[in-house]
Structure 1
Amino acid sequence: MLNTKRMSIVPTMRCTLRCKLCSNHVTEFKKPIDATVEEMIRDIDILFELFDKIEWLQFVGGEIFLHKGMAEVYDHCKVHRGKFSKLILESNATILPREAEITSLRKYGQDAKVMISDYGMFSSKSDEFIRILESNEIPYVVKKYHDDDQHYGGWIDNTSCRDYGESDSMVATKAARCPQVLLENMHCFRGKLHRCSNSLFMSELKLFVPNDRDYVDLLDKSQSDNMKRDIIKDFYIYPRKSCHFCSWKDADSLPRYPAAEQI
């Protein structure tokens, strides 16, 4: 059996905001790209061939509502409805959902949820966004990231994107406590499955060459499904190359900063 808590599909590297401390480093992409609808559907089908159960099937960005083809993707996910518990969407409430997206989400009843990161004045559509969700009985949660008492105390600074020069043993000890590890928050973009967002986004930025078995190439025909499952089962046993470049493994002890300050 192969299960995971969270599987995040990334539809786009584009975002409506340019946050100084963006944890996904999207401001560093000079030409941010989208995954096509066909690529997302293909990846989702492959993932559900590999996994027996996924608790949360998530869509994260960038800002996912920039992508115009998501309703078709959400509809397709229903093919695998028996193998995931919740459909989760993450948004910064700067763009309103399209009618087709609302129609698709309503089909999930209480098993779809929109996670709104509320950045105060920067989340310019927040009130209207919430009214649309409430009027269509779509569950949502608001994470407050403005003024006082910010969610998680605010943001950490993970923007240095450099090898910190720590020993393998130190990185292994710290990485075992990383919030991304504890959440089992895997990320997938255009055929590549990584164990966390930083492994994916830093790799896409070409900051380093990932080690063997740091990720799974879903399209690699030379590897059987069982070989790919074996790599995935090891995802949280030892650190990735990205762990040497990432601050999240120290998140519990790092200072917090106001979220969403713009460049």
Structure 2
Amino acid sequence: MYNAEGKFVLRRAVLNITYRCNLRCKLCVTGGPRYKVAPHYSFNYLAETMHRFFKIVDYVEWYELSGGEPFIHPDLAELIDCAMSFKKQFDKLLIITNGSLLPHSAVISAMQRHAADIMVFISDYGELSSNVKELTELLLSLNIDCKIKSYHGDNQYFGGWVDYGSWERRNDSPTDLAAKFKRCGASKMQGIFTTHAGTMHWCVRSAKGLVVDKLIPEEASDYIDLFDDALSVEQQRSKIVSLFNKPYISVCNYCDGDGDNAQRRYPAAEQLS
């Protein structure tokens, strides 16, 4: 967190800009297809969220705009420019897409302006990701780094997707919860620090459970409310530090976990009927 120069540093941070998506994946980690009206955040709200985040965090290696499907957001071009106004505070801006859509002209222009500082991760779901080839060629023509993760066929990235289970309380022991938390992919990445609805969480499931859908009992120590003006920057940083020091977080008791290599994986992006 605090480096040798006294800067407050995170490895990775994600800003969820929309839950809207053109796919209807059964095991979508945000659960986007199951909403009648999926959560979606305005440019002004997201710009203020970025401002508040970078007031607390001096530097993050990867800053990610995610969804849902980011290319659906009508203000993505402006959001890219806004993120780049904080360029001195991160290494790369990541955009995660499902490979089914091509960015509109304003987004292409924004990416071209900042080509050296953007990386696009394309999740390739086979027939569902109908524009992977054209998108890849476009990005390469703009000198934008891109990486394709294959999620179709017999050799899916990381073996496919995980089913985190229902939102029923597991009643696991503290020892089992700590072991689950330690095995979790989010913990192995030193926290994903994903921001949803102005609150920053260790993982997406925590964001959904505590704030977005309020599916589990409130536990304010498990997230950072970026819009809480009663707390100073140092107090907000202390809350982040405390997350690193917790043996587990409350959502672990409402999750089957994902860190066991023997845990069953499922074919990615299976669609709801």
Aligned equivalent of 1:218? 226
Query: Secondary structure at 1:176's aligned position in 2?
Result: helix
Relative to structure 1, the CA distance from residue 197 to residue 12 in structure 2 (aligned partners, 3 Å threshold; closer, same or farther) is: same
Letter in 1 for 2:256: S
Give the structure 2 partner of residue 120 of structure 1. 126
Please report how far the alpha carbon of residue 16 of structure 1 lies from its aligned counterpart in structure 2 after TM superposition: 1.1
The number of equivalent residue pairs is 263
Determine if the alignment matches structure 1 residue 95 to structure 2 residue 101. Answer: yes
**Higher relative contact order, chain-length normalized (CA < 8 Å, sep 6+):** 1
3-state SS, counterpart of residue 252 of structure 1: coil
In structure 1, which of residues 160, 179, 184 is the aligned counterpart of residue 185 of structure 2?
179
Counterparts of 1:210 and 1:75, CA distance in 2 = 35
Q: Distance in 1 between matches of 2:258 and 2:245?
A: 14
* Distance of 1:72 and 1:251 partners within structure 2: 39
**1:132 match:** 138
TM-score in terms of structure 1 length: 0.95
Answer yes or no: is the 8 Å Cα contact 1:156–1:251 preserved in 2: no
> Within 1, Cα distance between the matches of 2:25 and 2:216?
23
SS in 2 for 1:114: strand
* Offset, 1:10: 0.5
Q: Determine whether 1:234 maps to 2:242.
A: yes
* 1: CA distance, partners of 2:213 / 2:185: 22
- Which of 175, 178, 202 in structure 2 is aligned with 1:195? 202
For 1:155 and 1:235, the matched residues in 2 are separated by 26
Alignment equivalent of 2:215, drawn from 194, 207, 213: 207
Change in 2 beyond 3 A, CA 1:20/1:159: farther
Structure 1 alignment gaps of length 5 or more: none
Change (3 A) 1:210 1:246: same
Name the SS of the counterpart of 2:74 in structure 1.
Answer: coil
Taking the TM superposition and a 5 Å limit, the aligned residue runs for 1:3-82 are 3-82=9-88
Work out the percentage of aligned pairs sharing the same amino acid.
31
SS of residue in 1 equivalent to 2:164: coil
Answer yes or no: is the 8 Å Cα contact 1:154–1:256 preserved in 2. Answer: yes
**Which one is further off, 122-131 or 56-65?**
122-131
- 1:143-164 alpha-carbon deviations (Å, 9 max, x no partner): 0000111100111111423222
| Corresponding letter in the other structure for 1:89 | I
Which residues of structure 2 form unaligned runs of 5+? 1-6
Determine the C-alpha separation between the residues in 1 that align with 2:241 and 2:96: 26
1:23-61 CA-partner distances (Å, limit 9, x unpaired): 222233232121110111101111111011100000111
Counterpart residue type for residue 209 of structure 1: P
- Cα distance in 1, alignment partners of residues 225 and 177 from structure 2: 25
Root-mean-square deviation (Å): 1.5
Query: Corresponding residue for 2:3?
Result: none
Q: Which is worse superposed, 143-152 or 194-203?
A: 194-203
Asked if 1 retains the 8 angstrom alpha-carbon contact of 2:115 and 2:142, the reply is no
| Counterpart residue type for residue 185 of structure 1 | I
Q: TM-score, normalised by structure 2?
A: 0.92
Q: Are 2:155 and 1:146 equivalent residues in the alignment?
A: no
Q: Which runs of structure 1 show a deviation greater than 4 angstroms over 4 or more consecutive aligned residues?
A: none
Q: Distance in 2 between matches of 1:112 and 1:168?
A: 41
